[in-house]
Structure 1
Amino acid sequence: MHLKSLLVAVAALSVAAPALAADSLDARLDGLAKAWAHANFEIRDKAAQSEEAARVAAQAEGLAKQYPGRAEPLVWEAIALSTEAGAKGGLGGLALAKSAKGLLEQAERINPAALGDGSVYTSLGSLYAQVPGFPIGFGDPAKARAYLQKAVSANPNGVDSNYFWGDFLFRQGDYAGSVKALERAAAAPARPGREVADRGRHADVLNLLAQARRKAHG
Protein backbone atom coordinates (compact mmCIF):
# COMPACT_ATOMS: atom_id res chain seq x y z
CA MET A 1 0.00 0.00 0.00
CA HIS A 2 1.33 3.45 -0.91
CA LEU A 3 2.03 5.84 1.94
CA LYS A 4 -0.74 8.18 0.78
CA SER A 5 -3.26 5.33 0.72
CA LEU A 6 -2.11 4.17 4.16
CA LEU A 7 -2.55 7.66 5.58
CA VAL A 8 -6.04 7.87 4.11
CA ALA A 9 -6.92 4.49 5.62
CA VAL A 10 -5.58 5.50 9.04
CA ALA A 11 -7.50 8.77 8.88
CA ALA A 12 -10.68 6.90 8.01
CA LEU A 13 -10.16 4.56 10.95
CA SER A 14 -9.55 7.47 13.32
CA VAL A 15 -12.86 8.99 12.26
CA ALA A 16 -14.73 5.69 12.41
CA ALA A 17 -13.43 4.62 15.83
CA PRO A 18 -15.30 7.26 17.89
CA ALA A 19 -18.44 6.58 15.87
CA LEU A 20 -18.16 2.85 16.54
CA ALA A 21 -17.57 3.52 20.23
CA ALA A 22 -20.65 5.73 20.35
CA ASP A 23 -22.70 3.06 18.60
CA SER A 24 -21.45 0.47 21.09
CA LEU A 25 -22.32 2.67 24.07
CA ASP A 26 -25.77 3.49 22.68
CA ALA A 27 -26.49 -0.20 22.05
CA ARG A 28 -25.43 -1.15 25.57
CA LEU A 29 -27.45 1.67 27.12
CA ASP A 30 -30.44 0.42 25.16
CA GLY A 31 -29.78 -3.05 26.57
CA LEU A 32 -29.71 -1.65 30.09
CA ALA A 33 -33.01 0.16 29.48
CA LYS A 34 -34.69 -3.04 28.32
CA ALA A 35 -33.23 -5.15 31.14
CA TRP A 36 -34.33 -2.61 33.74
CA ALA A 37 -37.85 -2.44 32.28
CA HIS A 38 -38.11 -6.22 32.55
CA ALA A 39 -36.95 -6.14 36.18
CA ASN A 40 -39.15 -3.23 37.18
CA PHE A 41 -42.36 -4.00 35.35
CA GLU A 42 -42.45 -7.71 34.50
CA ILE A 43 -41.01 -9.41 37.59
CA ARG A 44 -43.55 -9.48 40.43
CA ASP A 45 -41.70 -11.52 43.04
CA LYS A 46 -39.78 -9.02 45.18
CA ALA A 47 -36.77 -11.26 45.81
CA ALA A 48 -36.42 -12.07 42.11
CA GLN A 49 -36.93 -8.41 41.21
CA SER A 50 -34.22 -7.34 43.66
CA GLU A 51 -31.82 -9.90 42.22
CA GLU A 52 -32.46 -8.88 38.62
CA ALA A 53 -32.21 -5.15 39.41
CA ALA A 54 -28.87 -5.80 41.15
CA ARG A 55 -27.66 -7.56 38.01
CA VAL A 56 -28.65 -4.58 35.85
CA ALA A 57 -26.92 -2.20 38.29
CA ALA A 58 -23.73 -4.29 38.11
CA GLN A 59 -23.81 -4.17 34.30
CA ALA A 60 -24.29 -0.40 34.40
CA GLU A 61 -21.42 -0.05 36.88
CA GLY A 62 -19.15 -1.99 34.51
CA LEU A 63 -20.20 0.25 31.62
CA ALA A 64 -19.53 3.36 33.71
CA LYS A 65 -15.97 2.13 34.29
CA GLN A 66 -15.51 1.59 30.57
CA TYR A 67 -16.82 5.07 29.76
CA PRO A 68 -15.55 7.37 32.54
CA GLY A 69 -16.84 10.86 32.16
CA ARG A 70 -20.15 9.72 30.66
CA ALA A 71 -23.25 10.29 32.78
CA GLU A 72 -25.62 7.83 31.10
CA PRO A 73 -24.32 4.58 32.68
CA LEU A 74 -24.36 6.27 36.10
CA VAL A 75 -28.01 7.20 35.60
CA TRP A 76 -28.97 3.65 34.69
CA GLU A 77 -27.00 2.25 37.62
CA ALA A 78 -28.88 4.61 39.92
CA ILE A 79 -32.25 3.73 38.40
CA ALA A 80 -31.54 0.01 38.81
CA LEU A 81 -30.38 0.52 42.40
CA SER A 82 -33.59 2.45 43.11
CA THR A 83 -35.64 -0.50 41.86
CA GLU A 84 -33.55 -2.85 43.99
CA ALA A 85 -34.09 -0.55 46.97
CA GLY A 86 -37.85 -0.58 46.47
CA ALA A 87 -37.89 -4.36 46.22
CA LYS A 88 -35.75 -4.85 49.34
CA GLY A 89 -37.19 -2.14 51.58
CA GLY A 90 -35.92 -1.56 55.10
CA LEU A 91 -32.42 -0.39 55.98
CA GLY A 92 -30.91 -2.33 53.10
CA GLY A 93 -33.19 -0.52 50.70
CA LEU A 94 -32.31 2.83 52.27
CA ALA A 95 -28.59 2.18 51.80
CA LEU A 96 -29.20 1.40 48.13
CA ALA A 97 -31.27 4.56 47.74
CA LYS A 98 -28.41 6.61 49.20
CA SER A 99 -26.02 5.02 46.70
CA ALA A 100 -28.44 5.83 43.89
CA LYS A 101 -28.62 9.46 45.03
CA GLY A 102 -24.83 9.73 45.02
CA LEU A 103 -24.62 8.35 41.48
CA LEU A 104 -27.30 10.75 40.25
CA GLU A 105 -25.53 13.70 41.83
CA GLN A 106 -22.35 12.62 40.06
CA ALA A 107 -24.26 12.31 36.78
CA GLU A 108 -25.80 15.74 37.32
CA ARG A 109 -22.33 17.27 37.66
CA ILE A 110 -21.19 15.60 34.42
CA ASN A 111 -24.28 16.14 32.26
CA PRO A 112 -27.68 16.93 33.77
CA ALA A 113 -29.27 16.39 30.33
CA ALA A 114 -28.02 12.78 30.09
CA LEU A 115 -30.43 10.45 28.25
CA GLY A 116 -32.21 13.53 26.92
CA ASP A 117 -35.46 13.06 28.83
CA GLY A 118 -34.92 14.67 32.22
CA SER A 119 -34.04 11.32 33.81
CA VAL A 120 -31.44 12.79 36.17
CA TYR A 121 -33.94 15.26 37.60
CA THR A 122 -36.84 12.79 37.59
CA SER A 123 -34.84 10.14 39.42
CA LEU A 124 -33.43 12.53 42.03
CA GLY A 125 -36.85 14.08 42.58
CA SER A 126 -38.55 10.73 43.05
CA LEU A 127 -35.90 9.63 45.56
CA TYR A 128 -36.29 12.80 47.62
CA ALA A 129 -40.07 12.34 47.45
CA GLN A 130 -40.24 8.67 48.42
CA VAL A 131 -37.37 8.13 50.88
CA PRO A 132 -38.21 8.89 54.54
CA GLY A 133 -36.91 12.19 55.88
CA PHE A 134 -34.50 12.93 58.72
CA PRO A 135 -33.48 11.23 60.97
CA ILE A 136 -34.15 7.98 59.09
CA GLY A 137 -33.31 9.01 55.55
CA PHE A 138 -32.63 11.93 53.23
CA GLY A 139 -36.18 12.54 51.99
CA ASP A 140 -36.96 16.21 51.44
CA PRO A 141 -40.24 17.47 49.88
CA ALA A 142 -38.72 20.84 48.95
CA LYS A 143 -35.85 19.22 47.05
CA ALA A 144 -38.27 16.73 45.51
CA ARG A 145 -40.46 19.56 44.23
CA ALA A 146 -37.49 21.48 42.80
CA TYR A 147 -36.06 18.48 40.96
CA LEU A 148 -39.41 17.24 39.65
CA GLN A 149 -40.27 20.70 38.35
CA LYS A 150 -36.92 20.72 36.53
CA ALA A 151 -37.78 17.29 35.09
CA VAL A 152 -41.11 18.51 33.72
CA SER A 153 -39.43 21.62 32.33
CA ALA A 154 -36.83 19.43 30.58
CA ASN A 155 -39.42 16.94 29.30
CA PRO A 156 -42.89 18.55 29.44
CA ASN A 157 -44.66 15.75 27.57
CA GLY A 158 -42.76 12.80 29.03
CA VAL A 159 -44.52 9.90 30.70
CA ASP A 160 -41.99 9.54 33.53
CA SER A 161 -41.48 13.24 34.27
CA ASN A 162 -45.23 13.83 34.51
CA TYR A 163 -45.96 10.59 36.37
CA PHE A 164 -43.48 11.30 39.15
CA TRP A 165 -44.58 14.93 39.34
CA GLY A 166 -48.18 13.73 39.63
CA ASP A 167 -47.18 11.16 42.23
CA PHE A 168 -45.44 13.87 44.28
CA LEU A 169 -48.46 16.19 44.10
CA PHE A 170 -50.71 13.30 45.15
CA ARG A 171 -48.49 12.65 48.19
CA GLN A 172 -48.69 16.37 49.02
CA GLY A 173 -52.50 16.36 48.86
CA ASP A 174 -52.70 18.49 45.67
CA TYR A 175 -55.12 16.15 43.93
CA ALA A 176 -56.22 18.59 41.23
CA GLY A 177 -52.60 19.27 40.30
CA SER A 178 -51.89 15.56 40.38
CA VAL A 179 -54.75 14.87 37.95
CA LYS A 180 -53.39 17.42 35.48
CA ALA A 181 -49.89 15.97 35.60
CA LEU A 182 -51.12 12.40 35.31
CA GLU A 183 -53.36 13.27 32.38
CA ARG A 184 -50.28 14.62 30.59
CA ALA A 185 -48.46 11.39 31.46
CA ALA A 186 -51.33 9.32 30.09
CA ALA A 187 -51.16 11.26 26.81
CA ALA A 188 -47.38 10.94 26.48
CA PRO A 189 -46.11 9.74 23.09
CA ALA A 190 -44.80 6.19 22.78
CA ARG A 191 -41.04 5.70 22.98
CA PRO A 192 -39.69 3.43 20.22
CA GLY A 193 -37.91 0.44 21.72
CA ARG A 194 -39.29 1.14 25.19
CA GLU A 195 -42.54 -0.78 24.82
CA VAL A 196 -42.24 -2.72 28.09
CA ALA A 197 -41.42 0.43 30.06
CA ASP A 198 -44.24 2.37 28.38
CA ARG A 199 -46.77 -0.36 29.05
CA GLY A 200 -45.75 -0.68 32.70
CA ARG A 201 -45.56 3.04 33.36
CA HIS A 202 -48.90 3.73 31.71
CA ALA A 203 -50.47 1.12 33.99
CA ASP A 204 -48.99 3.00 36.96
CA VAL A 205 -50.28 6.29 35.55
CA LEU A 206 -53.84 5.07 35.04
CA ASN A 207 -53.97 3.48 38.50
CA LEU A 208 -52.81 6.66 40.26
CA LEU A 209 -54.94 8.87 38.00
CA ALA A 210 -58.08 7.00 39.07
CA GLN A 211 -57.15 7.55 42.73
CA ALA A 212 -56.37 11.24 42.17
CA ARG A 213 -59.67 11.83 40.40
CA ARG A 214 -61.58 10.22 43.25
CA LYS A 215 -59.74 12.38 45.77
CA ALA A 216 -60.16 15.55 43.68
CA HIS A 217 -63.91 15.03 43.38
CA GLY A 218 -64.44 13.57 46.81
Structure 2
Amino acid sequence: MLPSSHPSCRVISRCCRVLLSGGMALGITLAGMTGVHAAPGDDDVFPLSKRWAQINYQVSGDAQEKGMEALGKEVRALADQYPDNAHVLTWEGIILASWAKARGGLGALDLAKEAKATLEKAITLDPKGDNASAYVTLGALYDKAPGWPVGFGDDEKAGEVLRKGLEVNPTGMDTNYYYADYLASEGRDEEALKHARLAQDGPPRPNRELADQELQKEIAALIKRLQ
Protein backbone atom coordinates (compact mmCIF):
# COMPACT_ATOMS: atom_id res chain seq x y z
CA MET A 1 0.00 0.00 0.00
CA LEU A 2 0.94 3.59 -0.01
CA PRO A 3 2.42 6.19 2.36
CA SER A 4 -0.52 8.53 2.45
CA SER A 5 -1.73 5.11 2.80
CA HIS A 6 -1.50 2.69 -0.65
CA PRO A 7 -5.98 -2.22 -3.24
CA SER A 8 -7.23 -4.13 -5.56
CA CYS A 9 -10.29 -2.15 -6.27
CA ARG A 10 -12.99 -4.62 -6.00
CA VAL A 11 -15.45 -1.93 -6.94
CA ILE A 12 -15.21 1.30 -8.87
CA SER A 13 -16.03 3.38 -5.80
CA ARG A 14 -13.01 1.97 -4.01
CA CYS A 15 -10.92 2.81 -7.02
CA CYS A 16 -11.90 6.44 -6.82
CA ARG A 17 -11.39 6.56 -3.08
CA VAL A 18 -8.05 4.78 -2.85
CA LEU A 19 -6.13 4.42 -6.07
CA LEU A 20 -7.18 7.69 -7.52
CA SER A 21 -7.07 9.84 -4.45
CA GLY A 22 -4.16 8.67 -2.43
CA GLY A 23 -3.41 5.02 -2.74
CA MET A 24 -0.80 5.53 -5.40
CA ALA A 25 1.35 7.68 -3.23
CA LEU A 26 3.06 4.61 -3.49
CA GLY A 27 5.95 5.49 -4.39
CA ILE A 28 6.60 6.31 -3.50
CA THR A 29 8.79 6.37 -0.68
CA LEU A 30 9.98 3.22 -2.02
CA ALA A 31 13.05 3.47 -4.07
CA GLY A 32 16.13 2.50 -2.18
CA MET A 33 18.71 3.78 -4.56
CA THR A 34 22.37 3.58 -3.78
CA GLY A 35 23.47 6.84 -5.32
CA VAL A 36 26.41 5.01 -6.94
CA HIS A 37 25.88 4.71 -10.67
CA ALA A 38 27.91 3.51 -13.63
CA ALA A 39 25.71 2.79 -16.63
CA PRO A 40 24.92 5.55 -19.15
CA GLY A 41 21.84 7.42 -17.96
CA ASP A 42 22.26 6.62 -14.27
CA ASP A 43 23.68 10.01 -13.36
CA ASP A 44 20.64 11.71 -14.90
CA VAL A 45 18.32 9.90 -12.50
CA PHE A 46 19.64 11.43 -9.27
CA PRO A 47 18.37 15.01 -9.83
CA LEU A 48 14.98 13.62 -10.88
CA SER A 49 14.76 11.53 -7.72
CA LYS A 50 15.55 14.55 -5.55
CA ARG A 51 12.89 16.65 -7.25
CA TRP A 52 10.44 13.77 -6.96
CA ALA A 53 10.89 13.67 -3.19
CA GLN A 54 10.36 17.41 -2.88
CA ILE A 55 7.22 17.36 -5.03
CA ASN A 56 5.84 14.20 -3.44
CA TYR A 57 6.24 15.33 0.17
CA GLN A 58 6.39 19.11 0.17
CA VAL A 59 3.88 20.09 -2.52
CA SER A 60 0.15 19.39 -2.74
CA GLY A 61 -2.90 19.94 -4.91
CA ASP A 62 -2.63 21.21 -8.47
CA ALA A 63 0.99 22.21 -7.98
CA GLN A 64 1.88 18.63 -7.13
CA GLU A 65 0.12 17.27 -10.19
CA LYS A 66 1.85 19.78 -12.45
CA GLY A 67 5.19 18.99 -10.85
CA MET A 68 4.73 15.26 -11.34
CA GLU A 69 3.58 15.80 -14.90
CA ALA A 70 6.76 17.75 -15.67
CA LEU A 71 8.89 15.04 -14.05
CA GLY A 72 6.97 12.36 -15.91
CA LYS A 73 7.72 13.96 -19.25
CA GLU A 74 11.41 14.31 -18.38
CA VAL A 75 11.80 10.74 -17.21
CA ARG A 76 9.94 9.42 -20.26
CA ALA A 77 12.45 11.24 -22.47
CA LEU A 78 15.31 9.78 -20.44
CA ALA A 79 13.84 6.28 -20.77
CA ASP A 80 13.52 6.77 -24.53
CA GLN A 81 17.23 7.59 -24.59
CA TYR A 82 18.20 4.65 -22.36
CA PRO A 83 15.49 2.02 -22.94
CA ASP A 84 17.55 -0.83 -21.48
CA ASN A 85 18.68 0.91 -18.29
CA ALA A 86 16.80 -0.75 -15.41
CA HIS A 87 17.65 2.09 -12.99
CA VAL A 88 16.12 4.67 -15.33
CA LEU A 89 13.05 2.49 -15.91
CA THR A 90 12.54 1.90 -12.18
CA TRP A 91 12.43 5.62 -11.57
CA GLU A 92 10.19 6.13 -14.58
CA GLY A 93 7.74 3.69 -12.99
CA ILE A 94 7.94 5.40 -9.61
CA ILE A 95 7.37 8.86 -11.07
CA LEU A 96 4.51 7.72 -13.31
CA ALA A 97 2.82 6.03 -10.35
CA SER A 98 3.18 9.21 -8.30
CA TRP A 99 1.81 11.26 -11.18
CA ALA A 100 -1.20 8.93 -11.30
CA LYS A 101 -1.78 9.48 -7.58
CA ALA A 102 -1.53 13.24 -7.96
CA ARG A 103 -3.88 13.27 -10.94
CA GLY A 104 -6.55 11.10 -9.34
CA GLY A 105 -9.81 10.05 -10.94
CA LEU A 106 -10.20 7.41 -13.60
CA GLY A 107 -7.67 9.34 -15.69
CA ALA A 108 -4.98 7.96 -13.39
CA LEU A 109 -5.53 4.42 -14.64
CA ASP A 110 -3.65 4.86 -17.91
CA LEU A 111 -0.66 6.24 -16.04
CA ALA A 112 -0.83 3.35 -13.57
CA LYS A 113 -0.85 0.85 -16.43
CA GLU A 114 2.12 2.59 -18.03
CA ALA A 115 3.97 2.50 -14.71
CA LYS A 116 3.21 -1.22 -14.36
CA ALA A 117 4.61 -2.06 -17.80
CA THR A 118 7.71 0.04 -17.16
CA LEU A 119 8.41 -1.60 -13.80
CA GLU A 120 7.93 -5.08 -15.26
CA LYS A 121 10.53 -4.28 -17.90
CA ALA A 122 12.93 -2.95 -15.26
CA ILE A 123 12.60 -6.20 -13.29
CA THR A 124 13.19 -8.28 -16.41
CA LEU A 125 16.38 -6.34 -17.13
CA ASP A 126 17.67 -6.46 -13.54
CA PRO A 127 15.65 -8.55 -11.04
CA LYS A 128 17.84 -7.44 -8.14
CA GLY A 129 18.27 -3.82 -9.15
CA ASP A 130 17.83 -0.80 -6.90
CA ASN A 131 17.37 -2.89 -3.77
CA ALA A 132 13.99 -4.19 -5.00
CA SER A 133 12.45 -0.76 -5.54
CA ALA A 134 10.74 -1.90 -8.74
CA TYR A 135 9.16 -4.85 -6.92
CA VAL A 136 7.92 -2.59 -4.12
CA THR A 137 6.30 -0.09 -6.45
CA LEU A 138 4.83 -2.78 -8.70
CA GLY A 139 3.45 -4.65 -5.70
CA ALA A 140 1.86 -1.47 -4.40
CA LEU A 141 0.27 -0.88 -7.80
CA TYR A 142 -1.26 -4.36 -7.83
CA ASP A 143 -2.44 -3.84 -4.27
CA LYS A 144 -4.03 -0.46 -4.79
CA ALA A 145 -5.16 -0.45 -8.41
CA PRO A 146 -8.80 -1.25 -9.19
CA GLY A 147 -9.45 -4.85 -10.08
CA TRP A 148 -11.22 -6.36 -13.06
CA PRO A 149 -13.05 -5.11 -15.06
CA VAL A 150 -11.78 -1.61 -14.29
CA GLY A 151 -8.07 -2.24 -13.91
CA PHE A 152 -5.32 -4.73 -13.11
CA GLY A 153 -5.49 -4.74 -9.31
CA ASP A 154 -4.94 -8.18 -7.78
CA ASP A 155 -4.41 -8.86 -4.07
CA GLU A 156 -2.80 -12.25 -4.65
CA LYS A 157 -0.40 -10.87 -7.25
CA ALA A 158 0.43 -7.96 -4.97
CA GLY A 159 1.52 -10.31 -2.21
CA GLU A 160 3.57 -12.40 -4.62
CA VAL A 161 5.45 -9.38 -6.00
CA LEU A 162 6.05 -7.84 -2.58
CA ARG A 163 7.46 -11.13 -1.30
CA LYS A 164 9.88 -11.22 -4.23
CA GLY A 165 11.03 -7.78 -3.19
CA LEU A 166 11.70 -9.09 0.30
CA GLU A 167 13.77 -11.93 -1.12
CA VAL A 168 15.99 -9.36 -2.81
CA ASN A 169 16.11 -6.95 0.14
CA PRO A 170 14.99 -8.73 3.35
CA THR A 171 16.03 -5.93 5.73
CA GLY A 172 14.84 -3.00 3.64
CA MET A 173 12.80 -0.21 5.16
CA ASP A 174 10.53 0.00 2.13
CA THR A 175 10.30 -3.72 1.28
CA ASN A 176 9.18 -4.53 4.82
CA TYR A 177 6.85 -1.54 5.19
CA TYR A 178 4.89 -2.17 2.01
CA TYR A 179 4.59 -5.87 2.74
CA ALA A 180 3.43 -5.03 6.27
CA ASP A 181 0.85 -2.63 4.87
CA TYR A 182 -0.34 -5.33 2.48
CA LEU A 183 -0.59 -7.91 5.28
CA ALA A 184 -2.57 -5.46 7.41
CA SER A 185 -5.06 -4.97 4.59
CA GLU A 186 -5.45 -8.75 4.46
CA GLY A 187 -6.19 -8.93 8.20
CA ARG A 188 -2.88 -10.63 9.02
CA ASP A 189 -2.03 -8.21 11.80
CA GLU A 190 0.54 -10.30 13.67
CA GLU A 191 2.66 -10.82 10.56
CA ALA A 192 2.13 -7.20 9.57
CA LEU A 193 3.45 -5.96 12.91
CA LYS A 194 6.54 -8.13 12.57
CA HIS A 195 7.41 -6.64 9.19
CA ALA A 196 6.52 -3.11 10.29
CA ARG A 197 9.07 -3.41 13.09
CA LEU A 198 11.65 -4.74 10.67
CA ALA A 199 10.93 -1.72 8.49
CA GLN A 200 11.41 0.61 11.44
CA ASP A 201 14.85 -0.91 12.03
CA GLY A 202 15.79 -0.92 8.35
CA PRO A 203 19.01 0.82 7.31
CA PRO A 204 18.76 4.34 5.86
CA ARG A 205 18.89 4.59 2.09
CA PRO A 206 21.75 6.64 0.62
CA ASN A 207 20.64 10.05 -0.64
CA ARG A 208 17.03 9.38 0.39
CA GLU A 209 16.88 11.41 3.59
CA LEU A 210 13.54 13.10 2.94
CA ALA A 211 11.89 9.93 1.66
CA ASP A 212 13.19 7.94 4.63
CA GLN A 213 11.93 10.53 7.08
CA GLU A 214 8.45 10.43 5.60
CA LEU A 215 8.42 6.65 5.33
CA GLN A 216 9.36 6.32 8.99
CA LYS A 217 6.27 8.38 9.83
CA GLU A 218 4.14 5.92 7.89
CA ILE A 219 5.83 2.99 9.60
CA ALA A 220 5.22 4.47 13.06
CA ALA A 221 1.56 5.07 12.23
CA LEU A 222 1.15 1.49 11.02
CA ILE A 223 2.77 0.06 14.14
CA LYS A 224 0.52 2.18 16.34
CA ARG A 225 -2.53 0.94 14.47
CA LEU A 226 -1.49 -2.70 14.77
CA GLN A 227 -0.55 -2.74 18.45
Common topology (TM > 0.5): yes
Contact 2:83 2:89 in 1 (8 A): no
Choose which of 56, 76, 92 in structure 2 pairs with 1:40. Answer: 56
Q: Is structure 2 residue 109 aligned with structure 1 residue 109?
A: no
Deviation at 1:65, TM superposition (A): 2.0
1:153 aligns with 167
Choose which of 48, 56, 81 in structure 1 pairs with 2:96. Answer: 81
> Structure 2 length normalisation: TM-score?
0.79
Q: Is structure 2 residue 194 aligned with structure 1 residue 188?
A: no
How many Å separate the matches in 2 of 1:63 and 1:113? Answer: 21
Deviation at 1:197, TM superposition (A): 0.8
Greater displacement, 121-130 / 25-34 = 25-34
> Which structure has the higher relative contact order (CA within 8 Å, separation 6+)?
2
2:138 aligns with 124
Contact 1:166 1:178 in 2 (8 A): yes
**SS of aligned partner of 1:22:** coil
Aligned positions, number: 191
Contact 1:46 1:88 in 2 (8 A): no
Choose which of 64, 69, 82 in structure 2 pairs with 1:67. Answer: 82
How many Å separate the matches in 1 of 2:225 and 2:66? Answer: 31
> Structure 1 length normalisation: TM-score?
0.82
How many Å separate the matches in 1 of 2:61 and 2:166? Answer: 30
Cα distance change on mapping 1:96 and 1:32 into 2, 3 Å:
same
Contact 2:41 2:85 in 1 (8 A): no
Q: Is structure 2 residue 44 aligned with structure 1 residue 28?
A: yes
Which residue identity does 1:123 align to in structure 2? T
Contact 1:131 1:138 in 2 (8 A): yes
User: Which protein shows a greater Rg?
Assistant: 1
Choose which of 81, 92, 106 in structure 2 pairs with 1:91. Answer: 106
Deviation at 1:50, TM superposition (A): 1.7
Contact 1:113 1:120 in 2 (8 A): no
Cα distance change on mapping 1:24 and 1:71 into 2, 3 Å:
closer
Q: Is structure 2 residue 189 aligned with structure 1 residue 175?
A: yes
Which residue identity does 2:38 align to in structure 1? A
Contact 1:58 1:77 in 2 (8 A): no
Q: Is structure 2 residue 161 aligned with structure 1 residue 143?
A: no
Contact 2:45 2:88 in 1 (8 A): yes
Which runs of 5 or more structure 1 residues have no equivalent in the other structure? 1-20, 214-218
Deviation at 1:23, TM superposition (A): 7.2
How many Å separate the matches in 1 of 2:158 and 2:183? Answer: 10
Contact 1:158 1:188 in 2 (8 A): yes
**SS of aligned partner of 2:207:** coil
Choose which of 51, 59, 75 in structure 1 pairs with 2:66. Answer: 51
